[in-house]
């Protein structure tokens, strides 16, 4: 039996719709990159993350293989960033150092963000003595400079990658706790949360279904921005000898080793310093772009004139 004309036309539209939707998404994505060039730094971060994951494949030499006969050799086609004092290829060590910096930074943000968000949620939701105790603990941690406190923790626990990540995560707990508490207090005043409490909905359901999804965006933006500072702090502590121990390749320790040869062979510091600057710059600019797009109170993208 033949279908009516209107039914056939509607079926054709439904068949074309998935392709049209994918094309529209691609067009919107390209338009977003044109309107805000800072989003291209997200591509740079993806490339750096891929380099960290596939470091054994793309590295031209093993990072720990040393050759004293080519020590302190300048940049060449064989060694694009030269070699260090032990004849190790600087480019390979920079690529492997990306693994250390990104993994420590991600672990720091995950541990500090989860603990801080949980504390902020509990403080804002239950109020009373719970809020007072958590606020007192947070203010106590904030009374110490973050980098100095992390340095003291690593010095007490001993230099290692795990202790470095734990120390940096601990000093970031107050940042997420205060942000989560402030955002939760705003959501708690909304009518749908008050109605859920009046209906007798369990606290954990209200937190998971109503509060946490609505405070996730500012927490994500904060994580994107603060991960850059985590990488900087990791490099500083590694520079002081409190990070991964030799011969593990790390940007901070590589800069520390290269400072002795700063006058005679300044290019030894070029690789790790440029990598550190590129990662931090990309994270800051990409984090600003994400913040502008996720913050409904920011009208920059709406008011931007069309080209």
Q: Which domain holds residue 288?
A: 54-303
- Cβ atoms within 10 Å, residue 1: 2
In a domain, 33, yes or no: no
Integer Cα distance of 39 and 215 in angstroms: 23
Q: What is the pLDDT along the chain (307 residues), one digit of tens a residue?
A: 455 555 454 445 445 455 555 667 777 777 777 777 888 888 888 888 888 889 889 988 988 888 888 888 888 888 888 888 888 989 999 999 998 888 898 999 999 999 999 999 999 888 888 889 999 999 999 888 888 999 999 989 888 889 999 999 999 999 999 999 988 888 888 888 878 878 877 878 888 888 888 888 888 888 888 888 899 999 999 888 888 888 888 898 899 888 888 888 888 888 899 999 999 898 888 888 877 777 655 544 444 444 4
Give the CA angle between residues 187, 193, 194 to the nearest 5°. 115
Domain count, the chain: 1
In a domain, 29, yes or no: no
In a domain, 274, yes or no: yes
pTM of the entire structure?
A: 0.79
In a domain, 201, yes or no: yes
In a domain, 121, yes or no: yes
Residue 281's CATH number: 1.10.3720.10
Give residue-wise pLDDT tens across range 151-179: 999 989 888 889 999 999 999 999 999 99
The pair of structure tokens assigned to 268 is 């030894």
Closest residue by Cα to residue 231 from 106, 75, 122, 52? 106
Integer Cα distance of 93 and 111 in angstroms: 27
């Amino acid at each position: 039996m033949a279908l009516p004309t209107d039914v056939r036309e509607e079926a054709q539209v439904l068949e074309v719709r998935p392709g049209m939707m994918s094309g529209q998404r691609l067009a919107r994505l390209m338009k977003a990159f044109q309107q805000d060039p800072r989003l291209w730094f997200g591509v740079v971060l993806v490339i750096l993350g891929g380099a960290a994951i596939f470091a054994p494949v793309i590295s031209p030499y093993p990072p720990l293989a040393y050759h004293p006969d080519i020590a302190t050799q300048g940049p060449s086609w064989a060694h694009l960033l030269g070699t260090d004092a032990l004849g190790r290829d600087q480019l390979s060590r920079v690529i492997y150092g990306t693994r250390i910096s990104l993994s420590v930074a991600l672990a720091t943000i995950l541990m500090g963000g989860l603990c801080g968000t949980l504390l902020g949620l509990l403080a804002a939701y239950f109020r009373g003595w719970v809020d007072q105790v958590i606020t007192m603990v947070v203010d106590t941690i904030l009374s110490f400079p973050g980098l100095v406190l992390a340095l003291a923790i690593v010095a007490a626990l001993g230099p290692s990658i795990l202790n470095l990540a734990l120390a940096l995560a601990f000093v970031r707990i107050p940042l997420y706790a205060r942000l989560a508490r402030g955002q939760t207090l705003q959501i708690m005043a909304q009518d749908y949360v008050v109605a859920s409490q009046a209906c007798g909905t369990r606290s954990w359901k209200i937190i998971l279904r109503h509060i946490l999804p609505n405070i996730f965006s500012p927490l994500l933006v904060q994580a994107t921005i603060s991960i850059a500072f985590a990488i900087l702090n990791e490099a500083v502590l590694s520079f002081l000898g409190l990070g991964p121990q030799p011969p593990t390749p790390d940007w901070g320790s590589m800069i520390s080793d290269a400072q002795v040869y700063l006058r005679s062979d300044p290019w030894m510091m070029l690789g790790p310093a440029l990598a550190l600057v590129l990662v931090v710059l990309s994270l800051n600019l990409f984090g600003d772009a994400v913040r502008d797009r996720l913050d409904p109170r920011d009208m920059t993208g709406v008011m931007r004139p069309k080209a």
